[in-house]
Structure 1
Amino acid sequence: MTALSLLMVGVAYLVGSVSSAVLISHAFKLPDPRYHGSGNPGATNVLRLGGRVPALLVLLTDVLKGTVPVYSAFFMGITPLALGFIAIAACLGHIFPLYFHFKGGKGVATAFGAMLPIGPPLAGLLVASWAVTVFIWGYSSLGAIIAVSLAPVFTWFIKPEYTLPVAMLSALIVFRHRENIQRLWRGQESKVWDKGKTNE
Structure 2
Amino acid sequence: MQDLVGPALGTLAVVAIGGYLLGSIPFGVILTRLVTGEDVRKIGSGNIGATNVLRTGRKDLAFATLILDAGKGAVALLIARALFDSEVAGAIAGGAAFLGHLFPVWLGFRGGKGVATFFGLLIAAAWPLGLLAGATWILVAALFRISSLSALVSSAAAPIYALLPLAALGLPAPQPVAVLALLTAVLIWFRHRENIARLFKGTEPRIGAAKA
Residue of structure 1 in register with 2:178 after alignment: 163
Residue of structure 2 in register with 1:54 after alignment: 61
Once residues 82 and 89 of structure 2 are traced to their aligned partners in structure 1, the CA distance between those partners, rounded to angstroms, is: 13
Spell out structure 1 runs of 4+ moving beyond 4 A.
Answer: none
Question: Is 2:39 the counterpart of 1:32?
Answer: yes
- Structure 1: runs of 5+ lacking an equivalent: none
Deviation at 1:27, TM superposition (A): 2.5
Residue of structure 2 in register with 1:2 after alignment: 9
SS at match of 1:135: helix
Residue type of the partner of 2:148?
S
Residue of structure 1 in register with 2:211 after alignment: 197
Once residues 119 and 203 of structure 2 are traced to their aligned partners in structure 1, the CA distance between those partners, rounded to angstroms, is: 26
Would the aligned equivalents of 1:14 and 1:90 in 2 still touch at CA under 8 Å? yes
Once residues 90 and 190 of structure 2 are traced to their aligned partners in structure 1, the CA distance between those partners, rounded to angstroms, is: 20
Deviation at 1:30, TM superposition (A): 5.7
Once residues 125 and 115 of structure 1 are traced to their aligned partners in structure 2, the CA distance between those partners, rounded to angstroms, is: 10
Residue type of the partner of 2:154?
A
Q: In the superposition, relative to structure 1, how do residues 74 and 3 fare at CA in structure 2: closer, same or farther (>3 Å)? A: same
Residue of structure 2 in register with 1:115 after alignment: 122
Q: 1:147-162 alignment to 2 at 5 Å?
A: 147-157=154-164, 158=166, 159=171, 160-161=174-175, 162=177
Once residues 163 and 122 of structure 2 are traced to their aligned partners in structure 1, the CA distance between those partners, rounded to angstroms, is: 13
Deviation at 1:39, TM superposition (A): 0.8
> Among 40, 60, 72, which residue is 1:65 paired with?
72
Once residues 63 and 54 of structure 1 are traced to their aligned partners in structure 2, the CA distance between those partners, rounded to angstroms, is: 14
Residue of structure 2 in register with 1:91 after alignment: 98
Would the aligned equivalents of 2:77 and 2:125 in 1 still touch at CA under 8 Å? no
Higher RCO, 1 vs 2 (CA within 8 Å, ≥6 residues apart)? 1
- Structure 2: runs of 5+ lacking an equivalent: 1-7
Deviates more, 1:114-123 or 1:140-149: 114-123
Residue of structure 2 in register with 1:179 after alignment: 194
Q: In the superposition, relative to structure 1, how do residues 66 and 107 fare at CA in structure 2: closer, same or farther (>3 Å)? A: same
Q: Percent identity?
A: 36
Deviation at 1:133, TM superposition (A): 1.1
Residue of structure 2 in register with 1:14 after alignment: 21
Residue of structure 1 in register with 2:148 after alignment: 141
Deviation at 1:82, TM superposition (A): 4.5
Question: Is 2:84 the counterpart of 1:77?
Answer: yes
Once residues 145 and 55 of structure 2 are traced to their aligned partners in structure 1, the CA distance between those partners, rounded to angstroms, is: 14
SS at match of 1:106: coil
**For each residue in 1:137-194, what CA deviation from the matched residue of structure 2 results, as whole angstroms up to 9, or x when unmatched?**
1111111111111111111123432212221121111111111111111111112212
> How does the TM-score come out when normalised to structure 2?
0.86
Q: How many aligned residue pairs are there?
A: 197
Deviation at 1:91, TM superposition (A): 1.4
